[in-house]
Homo-oligomer: A and B are copies of this chain.
Amino acid sequence: MAATLCNVSTSRPPRTRRTATGERRAAYDPETLLEVAARVFTERGYDGTSMEHLAIAAGITKSSIYHHVPGKEALLSAALDRALDALFAVCDEPQSTTGAAIDRLEHVIRRSVEILDEELPYVTLLLRVRGNTDTEQDALERRRTFDRFVTKLVAEAAQDGDLAPEIDPGLTTRLVFGMINSITEWYHPGRGVTVHELADAVVAVALRGRQA
């Protein structure tokens, strides 16, 4: 079983502490550590990230990290769950389960872009994972489950005649979600395009011809 982050839900509000040089600043908050870890894992790769790298990025020592989490893999697991939980929540939304397939598909596509914006560091990390550890393989399996949900929507929409039938649903899903996922390569929230412009552009390219 995958390791889990300890104390995330029971964390107290941050207090202050003194650094080695006597400088006062906020003591560490497990939430912040998780985001720092997700970012560094994404930049350097999970294997390429040492506890020392994380410690420097977080501004504490290696040993202090072990006070918050049992180890490196627990940080990875918690960060990946964060992205996956958000994506699966979309599948359970009423707009994803009722109405015409093409409308449910558009809703899932738009919400996926929004989650990419809201949970950017965690979604980006999820997309970089290649299955080298048990934790990564568990995450990839959950990703495949999400893909199957979307593929079914594409197939239904094609059967309804609301999508060009000449391309395979699985191939369409891969290309469209490949396009969505590639947004993590360059998107920075609050800089350049907005989330809504982005979602419009994706829907325009992916479902064009169907658009009003």
Contact = CB atoms under 8 A, between A and B. Distances in A.
A185 interface: yes
Contacts of A47: 44-45, 47-49
Contacts of A185: 174, 178
Nearest to A50: B47
B201 A171 contact: yes
Contacts of A202: 175
A167 interface: yes
Contacts of A49: 47
Contacts of A48: 45-48, 132
Interface in A146-175: 164, 166-168, 171-172, 174-175
Interface residues of A, number: 34
Interface in A184-212: 185-186, 193, 201-202, 204-206, 208-209
A44 B208 CA distance: 37
A205 B167 contact: yes
Contact of A206 (B45, B166, B167, B205): B205
A43 B130 CA distance: 7
A173 to B, nearest CB: 11
B132 A43 contact: yes
Contacts of A130: 43-45
A164 B208 contact: yes
A174 B182 contact: yes
10 contacts: A45-B130, A47-B49, A48-B48, A164-B204, A174-B185, A175-B201, A177-B182, A178-B185, A205-B206, A209-B209
The 9 closest A-B pairs by CB, nearest first: A178-B182, A47-B48, A45-B45, A179-B179, A178-B179, A167-B201, A48-B48, A175-B179, A208-B208
